[in-house]
């Protein structure tokens, strides 16, 4: 077992995916780590519903990042993980969805590697999969969508996004962190050939008790977000798989 050589104590960090919010959508492995933890270090995306079920005796440290206001920088979070584990604690680093998808987990793994602290990665159900299930549609569909892409809309430079490559009729696009980029997404996909009435589904707080899902189209994407005052966390699905009437959407904006 790897250990910090300067210390007699040897902690462990489990980097656990919390899933999209429904407390039943965390893995058994993730939940076992939580039940054995001394300390829980968690993000803003971890739902209140899940947090309520976690035994109160486990120490909690919130390191969430919300609306650009970070309670802790990524470097500080890495240092915190190392410091907690060096005290010999069993640490659970709980992240929303799957830590391996837009979860910045590699920076934390690198910090733990450098400090010789053992860790375990536990995947989770990513928001796209959770939202698709709770709205009753499949992310891929024979002949309709032969692939699915998870895209971060949160790039420092919009020109980095390969719009021409994304604007394909037989693909499902899922934009993470896309609310503030809705107008760019709408304009660029139309500019590169997708029709104005191309189906879009917006899902806010997917799988949680107060989930909202809104069916709209590319042309009305931004309008719908404003009309329903959608907030983070929201996913933007684009493609024919969300065009079906069977989709469980509570509201239809278009």
20, 23, 30, 239: which one binds ligand SAH (CB under 6 A): 20
31, 33, 42, 102: which one binds ligand SAH (CB under 6 A): 102
- Per DSSP bridges, beta strands 12-17 and 119-122 are parallel
Q: Choose the stretch contacting ligand SAH; rule: CB under 6 A; options: 31-39, 113-121, 124-132, 245-253.
A: 124-132
Alpha carbon 119 to chain centroid, angstroms: 21
Helix (H) or strand (E) run with residue 101 in it: none
With the C-alpha atoms ordered 35, 39, 41, 45, is the resulting torsion angle positive or negative? positive
Is residue 21 near ligand SAH by the rule CB under 6 A?
yes
Q: Choose the stretch contacting ligand SAH; rule: CB under 6 A; options: 76-84, 162-170, 200-208, 216-224.
A: 200-208
Q: Choose the stretch contacting ligand SAH; rule: CB under 6 A; options: 65-73, 75-83, 113-121, 201-209.
A: 201-209
Catalytic-labelled residue, pool 5, 8, 38, 43: 43
11, 23, 103, 239: which one binds ligand SAH (CB under 6 A): 103
44, 58, 109, 177: which one binds ligand SAH (CB under 6 A): 177
Instruction: Report the candidate in 134, 193, 206, 130 with the shortest Cα–Cα distance to residue 164.
Output: 193
Cβ contacts of 48-53, under 8 Å, gap ≥ 24: 49/21, 49/22, 49/23, 49/208, 49/209, 50/18, 50/19, 50/21, 50/23, 50/26, 52/23, 53/23
Contacts with ligand SAH by CB under 6 A lie at 20-21, 45, 96-98, 101-103, 126-127, 131, 176-177, 203, 205-207, 232-235
């Amino acid at each position: 077992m790897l250990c910090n050589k300067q210390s007699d104590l040897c902690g462990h960090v489990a980097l656990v995916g919390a899933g999209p919010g429904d407390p039943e959508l965390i893995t058994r492995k993730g939940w076992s780590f939580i039940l054995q933890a001394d300390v829980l270090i968690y993000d803003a995306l971890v739902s209140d519903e899940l947090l309520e079920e976690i035994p109160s005796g486990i120490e909690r440290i919130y390191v969430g990042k919300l609306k650009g206001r970070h309670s802790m920088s990524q470097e500080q979070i890495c240092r915190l993980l190392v410091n907690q584990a060096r005290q010999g604690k069993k640490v659970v680093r709980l992240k929303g969805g799957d830590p391996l998808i837009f979860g910045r987990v590699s920076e934390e793994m690198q910090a733990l590697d450098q400090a010789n602290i053992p860790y375990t990665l536990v995947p989770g159900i990513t928001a796209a999969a959770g939202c698709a299930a709770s709205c009753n549609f499949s992310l891929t569909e024979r002949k309709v969508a032969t692939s699915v892409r998870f895209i971060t809309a949160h790039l420092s430079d919009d020109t980095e996004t390969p719009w021409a490559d994304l604007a394909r009729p037989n693909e499902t696009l899922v934009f993470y962190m896309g609310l503030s980029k809705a107008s760019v997404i709408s304009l660029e996909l139309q500019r590169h050939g997708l029709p104005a009435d191309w189906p879009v589904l917006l899902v806010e707080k997917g799988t949680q008790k107060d989930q909202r899902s809104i069916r709209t189209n590319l042309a009305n994407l931004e309008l719908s977000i404003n009309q329903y005052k959608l907030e983070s966390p929201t996913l933007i699905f684009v493609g024919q798989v969300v065009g079906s009437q069977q989709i469980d959407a509570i509201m239809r904006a278009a």
